[in-house]
Structure 1
Amino acid sequence: MSLPTQTSAKPSRVLLIAVCSAFLVGLDSMITVPLVPAIAEDTGTAARLGGLFVSAYALLFALSAPLCGAMSDRIGRRTILTTGLVTFALGNILTGVTSDFVPLLVCRGVAGLGAAMIMPSVYAMIADSFPFERRGKVMGIVVAGLLSSTVIGVPLGSYLAYLMGWRAAFFAVGAVAVLVCALVFALIGATPPRAAAGQQSAASPVALYLGMVKRAVTTPAVLCVLGCTLLWAFALYGMFSNIGIFYAERFDFNEAQTGLAIMGSGAGSMTGALLGGRIADRLGKRTVLVAAALVAATGVTSVALIGEHLVPVLIVFVMWGTAVGVGQPSLNALVSELRPEMRGTALALNSSAQYGGMMLATSVAAVLLDNGVSFSVIGAICGVCALAVLPLLVGVRVAGKAEAAEAPAPGMEAKA
C-alpha cells in the first residue's frame, strides 16, 4: 500500500517544475563565471575579486538549505518553493540594477537564499510524488536539468551579455524565475504541511537544524562523507569560478567565447555523470572515484600550467570537467555506506557541504589572486584538494565499520 502524497498535482507536472527549477539554480550559481571581467570593469572592482560573487551566493545557500528543508515540512512545499522563486528572482533583478561591489555581494546572497528554498522543496516534492522504485530515475532527470544549465544556460547567458551587457543576463534569469513561479501556481496544488498528517516532529526547524549539525560533527563516518563533498567542491570551484578571468587574461576571451569554453566542459561533465554511475556499478564506486580524482587533479593543475597554448588548454578543460562528472555519482553514493539512522543527517547536510566548499574555494581563490598569486598556484591547491578526498574515503569505511560494530544488533534494544 502506497502512502498518500502531499501534492495534488500530476507527477509529470511536478517533474516539469522540478527540472525547470533545478536548471535555474544551476544556471544562477555559474552565470557570474564568464561575466566577471565585464562586471569588474563596469563596477570598478578588481577582476580577481570576482569569485566573491559566487562566494556570497554559496554562503547563503550552505547556511540556509537544511533549515529551508525543515520549514517545507512545516509550512508546505509549494509555499516555500514559490517564496524561494520570488526571492531568487528579486536577487537577480537587483543584481542587474546594482553598480557597487558590496551591494552586488548582498544581491548575490539574496539569490542564494532563494535557491536554498527552491532545491530542498523540489527534492521533497519529487519524493512525495513518485514511488520509491521510480525515484532514482526521476532524481536523475532533475540532476540532468541542473547540469544542463552549464551546457545550455551559461553559454546563452554569456552570449546575451555579449550582445546587451552583463546586466541583461541577470534580468533574463529573474524573468524566467517569475515565469516558473507562475507555472507552479498554475500546475501545482497547495501542499499541506506534514504536521497535518501527524508526521511532523515537535521540534522547531532551527532545533532540527542544530541537532543535525551536532550529530554530524560527533559522528566520524558522517563527518568523513561531508568532508569528501566539501573537498570535491573546493577542487572544482576554486579554479572554475575564476575561469572567466583566466581566459580573459590568458587569451583575451570575451563573454561569448568563455561561454563556449564552459559549454564544452559542461558537456563533458554531463556525459561523465551519465556514464559514471553505470561504470561504477560494474567496476566499483571507490575504484571509479579514485580514478576520477586522479584525472581531475591532473586536469585542474594542468589547465593553469600549460600556458599560452589555447587548444591544449581547451582539451584539458574538457577532460577535467568529464572527470568531475564521472566521479560525482560515486561520491554521492558514499551516503549508502552509512547506517540508516546516519543517512538522513548526511543527506540533509550534503548540499551545505557542497556549497560550503564552493564558498571557501571562491573566497580563498579571490583573496590569493587579488594578492598576486598566479593561477598555477590556484590550480595546484585545487589538485591537492581533489587528491585529499582519497584518504577520507578510507575514513568513511573505517568509521562506518566501527560504528556498525558498536551499534546494537536488531531487536536487542527491544529486549533490553
Structure 2
Amino acid sequence: MGLRGRVSLSVGWVTLFLMGTDLFIVSPLLPFISEEYNVSSAMTGWMVTVFAVTYAIAAPFFGWASDKNGRGIFITFGLLLFSFSNVLTAFSPSFTWLIISRILAGLSVAAITPLIYAIIGDIAPSNRRGTWLSIVVSGHLTALWAGAPLGILLEYFLGWRSVFVVMATLGTILAVVNFKTWKYVPRSDLTRNQLEGNLLRILGSVSVTTIWAISMYALYVYLGAALYSENRFSSSEIALAVIFYGIGAVLGSLISGQFTDRFGERKISKVTLFFLTLILICLGIFFSSGDWIYFFLFIWALVGYAGFTSYQARLAVEYPEERGIVLAWNNTALYIGITIGSIIGGYVISNWGYPFLPYFCSIVAIISFVLSTQKVQETKKESADSTDT
C-alpha cells in the first residue's frame, strides 16, 4: 500500500468515526436534552427518528449525483453542513430548532457516509477492495464503543452542548482534509443513465441488508433492557456487554476484509450470514448463562458485522458503474432495517418476552441468507450476460 492509499484510508476511517460518534452519541444524551428543553423522553426521541428518516431519503440522491459528478465535492459539502448542523444543535434556542438541526445532520451524513464507502471502493486495488472497505467500516463501528463513551465523558465535565461543538469543530477540519484528499480522484466519465433497467435489481440486492439489519437490531435495540430483565445486570455490566459487542463488531469487520480478498465476496458474505443464524440460536440458549453472555455477544457482533462488510464489498464489485448509488441505497436499506427491527423487536417482547427475541432474529437471519443467495446469483448472471454482449 502506497502513501496515498494510507492517507486515503486514514481520512476515510477518521471521517466515519466522527459520523458514527454523531449517530451513537445522541441516545445517551437524550435525558439531559429532555431536561434542558422541558420535553418528554418520547419527544426527544424524535431527534433520532428525523435524523434516520432524512438520511434514508437523501442517501440515494447523493449516491446518484456522485456517480455523475464526482464524490469529493459532495463529501466536502456534507462535512460543512455537518459542522453547521451541529453548531445549530449546540445552540438551538428551542426544541423546534433542535429538531431542524437533526434533520440537517441527517442530510449531511447522507452526503458523507455512503460516499466514503463508494470512493474507497473506487480507488482500492481490485484484489484488496474487501480489506480497504473493512478498514473504513471499522472506523464507523469503533465509534460504538469508543466515540460515544468519550462524548458521554465530555458531557459529564462540560455539558451536552459541548459534545456538538467539538463535533462541529472536527467536521470543519475534516472538510478541508477530505477536499484535499479526494480532489485527485478522477470523476467517472459515464454519460448513460446508470439506473436504466437496474433499479429493481439494485433494490433486490440491498433488501438483503434490510433483512440483516432487522436480525441484528431487533435484539440490539433492547439489549440493555433484556440483560437487566433476564440476567439482572447492573449498569456497569450492561456497559461491559456493549463494549464486548463493539469490539466484536470492529474485529469482525477487519477480519472479514482479509477473508473477502482471499476467498471472494460472495462466498464470505453467504457463509457469515449462515453462521449468523447459528450464533443467534446459541445466544438464545445461553442468554441467561451469566458471564458466558459476554462471549456470545462478542461472537454475535463478530459474525454479524463480518457479514455486513463482506456484503458491502460484494455490492461494490457487482455494481462497478453504479457503485455510489448502490452503496447509498444499501445504507438506506440499513436504516430502514434498523427502524423496522426496533418496531418488530418491541412487538416480540410485548407478546413473547425477551427470551424469544434471539430465536426470532435467527429466523430473520436465515431469510437474509436465502435472499442473498438468490439475488447474487441473478446479478452475477446478468452481469455475465452484459459482458458477453
Q: TM-score, normalised by structure 2?
A: 0.77
For 2:112, what is the secondary structure of its paired residue?
Answer: helix
Quote the RMSD (CA, aligned, Å).
4.3
Q: In the alignment, which residue of structure 1 is the partner of 2:275?
A: 291
Q: 1:74 to 1:358 in 2, by over 3 A?
A: same
Q: Is the 8 A contact 1:85 1:178 kept in 2?
A: yes
Unaligned runs of 5+ in 2: none
Residues 10/291 of structure 1: CA separation in 2 closer, same or farther (3 Å cut): closer
The residue correspondences of 1:5-404 to structure 2 (distance < 5 A) are 10-48=4-42, 51-98=45-92, 101-185=95-179, 187-188=180-181, 190=183, 194=187, 199-203=189-193, 211=195, 215-217=198-200, 219=201, 223=203, 225-241=205-221, 253=235, 262-275=242-255, 285-296=269-280, 299=283, 312=290, 316=293, 319-334=296-311, 336=314, 340=318, 344=322, 347-362=327-342, 377=353, 380=356, 384-398=360-374, 401=377
- For residues 232-258 of structure 1, give each alpha carbon's deviation from its aligned partner in whole angstroms, at most 9, with x where no partner exists: 2234334545667889998784xx997
C-alpha displacement at 1:377, in angstroms? 4.8
User: Which residue type is aligned with residue 234 of structure 1?
Assistant: I
For 1:283-317, what per-residue CA distance to the aligned partner results, in whole angstroms no more than 9, with x for missing partners?
965444233234346648987xx6xxxx94x8636
In 2, the alpha carbon distance for the partners of 1:189 and 1:394 equals 38
How many Å apart are 1:21 and its aligned residue? Answer: 0.8
Q: C-alpha displacement at 1:84, in angstroms?
A: 0.5
- C-alpha contact 2:319 2:326 (8 A) present in aligned 1: no
Counterpart residue identity of residue 365, structure 2: V
Please give the secondary structure, in 2, of the residue aligned with 1:70: helix
Displacement, 1:390?
Answer: 0.7
Q: In the comparison of the two structures, how many residue pairs are matched?
A: 378
Paired residue secondary structure (1:394): helix
- Residue type of the alignment partner of 2:301: V
Identity of aligned residues (%): 25
Alpha-carbon distance, 1:83 to partner: 0.8
Q: Judge conservation of contact 1:148–1:266 (CA < 8 Å) in 2.
A: yes
1:354-389 per-position Cα deviation (integer Å, ceiling 9, x unaligned): 1222233456778x79xxx76985785675245213
Counterpart contact for 2:90–2:165, Cα < 8 Å: yes
Separation (CA, whole Å) in 2 of partners of 1:399 and 1:25: 30
Residue of structure 2 equivalent to 1:4:
none
Residue 321 to residue 175, structure 1, CA distance change in 2 (3 Å): farther
Structure 1: any 5+ residue segments left out of the alignment? 1-8
The structure with the largest alpha-carbon Rg is 1
Q: Compute the displacement of 1:47 (Å).
A: 2.9
Q: Which amino acid aligns with 1:201?
A: T
Cα drift, residue 146 of structure 1: 1.7
Give the equivalent residue in structure 2 for 1:3: none
